[in-house]
């Protein structure tokens, strides 16, 4: 069974915006991102800087490719793989007991320590990427469909932003209430 194109396009648009936003954070503060990448202790030292320079551009390329129907399926698989890689990096460091490192998720404005809840968030993002990779039902899209795609993507992004804000601020909130 093929999904309606509205689901596929909305998922692709949401993932594209998230990747573009993530790339923007990395490109605005490249030295900080390189330090965050280094803190994960997963790459040889010689690869940290080159990967830190290339990774944001990979995110930008995937974001644009997700918006083009001819490249959407491959880009969505690649985005899901990239997000899985991010989740694995977090999981490995959680397994090592290294919860004090900045996940690099919240951009240069605030640090966000890695926690298991980030794995759940990334699983949802991987799921969105996989939905975007599906071959949709072949049907014409009308103007109303375009509004539905934009609204569905906006809702997904608002939920993502709210959840991300709660995750980023939960350590501070717990401190305030004395836990």
- Return d(Cα 162, Cα 156) in angstroms, integer: 10
Enter the DSSP assignment of 102.
Answer: B
pLDDT at 179: 66
- Return d(Cα 70, Cα 8) in angstroms, integer: 13
pLDDT at 108: 67
Domain count, the chain: 1
Which range is least confidently modeled, 50-64, 69-83, 157-171?
A: 157-171
Give backbone dihedrals phi and psi of 85, rounded to 5 degrees, phi first: -60, -40
Please state the rounded mean pLDDT for residues 9-18: 94
Q: Compute CA distances 2 → 5, 8, 135, whole Å.
A: 9, 10, 7
pTM: 0.87
Are residues 124 and 130 in contact, defined by beta-carbon separation less than 8 angstroms?
Answer: no
Mean pLDDT of the chain: 89
- Domain of residue 104 covers 5-176
- Return d(Cα 72, Cα 150) in angstroms, integer: 17
In 3D, which of 134, 93, 143, 109 has the Cα closest to residue 11? 134
- pLDDT class of 173 with cuts at 50, 70, 90: confident
Please state the rounded mean pLDDT for residues 27-50: 94
């Amino acid at each position: 069974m093929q999904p309606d194109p509205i689901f596929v396009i909305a998922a692709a648009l949401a993932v594209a915006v998230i990747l573009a936003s993530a790339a923007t954070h990395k490109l605005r503060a490249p030295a900080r991102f390189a330090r965050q990448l280094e803190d994960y202790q997963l790459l040889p030292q010689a690869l940290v800087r080159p990967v830190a320079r290339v990774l944001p551009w990979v995110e930008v390329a995937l974001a644009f490719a997700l918006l083009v129907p001819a490249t959407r399926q491959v880009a969505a698989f690649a985005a899901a793989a990239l997000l899985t890689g991010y989740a694995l990096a977090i999981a490995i460091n959680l397994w090592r007991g290294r919860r004090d490192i900045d996940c690099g998720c919240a951009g240069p404005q605030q640090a966000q320590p890695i926690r298991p809840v980030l794995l759940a968030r990334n699983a949802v993002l991987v799921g969105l990427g996989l939905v975007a990779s599906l071959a949709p039902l072949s049907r014409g899209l009308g103007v109303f469909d375009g509004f539905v795609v934009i609204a569905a993507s906006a809702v997904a992004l608002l939920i993502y932003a709210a959840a991300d804000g709660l995750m980023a601020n939960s350590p501070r909130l717990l401190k305030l209430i004395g836990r």
